[in-house]
């Protein structure tokens, strides 16, 4: 699902450059819902991925930086619309993710 969300994010940038922030904010909330509770140690290792070429996995090198970027996207989109609930969800996801890594 995260790979699909990543592809959709790229399509939004390409096809709808004038409406990107609000749509990207909604998509970033979906991504955060699936990433915030996972510690980096749970990600499949690169050597395991190379052995199993048929499956695609969503992995990031630095999940804390990735979560921060997603939260910034949400905050940019919230400034354009009135989605204060999304803003608070994103911030709480970020806090929890940083807490499990410390």
pLDDT tens track for 50-93: 565 556 667 777 889 999 999 998 888 876 556 678 888 999 99
Provide the percentage of residues in the chain whose pLDDT is more than 90. 23
Question: Domain limits of the chain?
Answer: 2-15+22-37+59-100
Rounded Cα distance between 28 and 22, Å, is 10
Answer yes or no: pTM beyond 0.85: no
Q: Is the pLDDT of residue 2 over 80?
A: no
Please answer whether residues 77 and 22 qualify as being in contact, where contact means their C-beta atoms are separated by less than 8 angstroms.
Answer: yes
**45-64-5-29 Cα dihedral, nearest 10 degrees:** 150
């Amino acid at each position: 699902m995260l790979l699909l969300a990543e592809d959709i994010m790229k399509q939004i940038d390409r096809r709808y450059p004038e409406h990107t922030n609000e749509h990207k904010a909604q998509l970033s909330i979906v991504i955060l819902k699936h990433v915030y509770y996972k510690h980096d140690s749970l990600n499949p290792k690169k050597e395991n991925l190379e052995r199993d070429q048929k499956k695609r996995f969503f992995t990031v090198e630095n999940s804390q930086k990735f979560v921060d970027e997603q939260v910034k996207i949400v905050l940019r989109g919230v400034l354009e619309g009135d989605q204060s609930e999304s803003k608070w969800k994103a911030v709480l996801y970020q806090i929890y993710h940083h807490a499990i890594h410390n």
